Amino acid sequence: MYDKKIKIKITEDGKIFAETIGLKGKDCLQYIELLEELLDAESIDSNYTNEYFETEIQTYRQNNQIIREEK
């Protein structure tokens, strides 16, 4: 299982750079929206990481059967 993180860099001139790590698919967008709200900031430019184009597969047990769910 991957750790889900947001890497934030603030430059001397006040620019903020954020990168999501370990978030598959569109999940990363929710974190960036939250970060914008917390910082009272707005994204000016963005790039998708390779993880954006991946899906997260969750495996869980239900009635002693292994079920895989793709998000």
Per domain, the residue ranges of the chain are 5-70
CA distance 31 to 8: 12
Tell me the pLDDT band of 71, cut-offs 50, 70 and 90.
Answer: low
* C-alpha neighbours within 13 Å on the C-beta side of residue 33: 5
Residue with more model confidence, 65 or 7:
7
**For residues 5-29, average pLDDT:** 87
Question: Can you name the residues that pair with 66 across neighbouring β-strands?
Answer: 61
CA distance 18 to 31: 10
Tell me the pLDDT band of 62, cut-offs 50, 70 and 90.
Answer: low
Residue with more model confidence, 2 or 54:
54
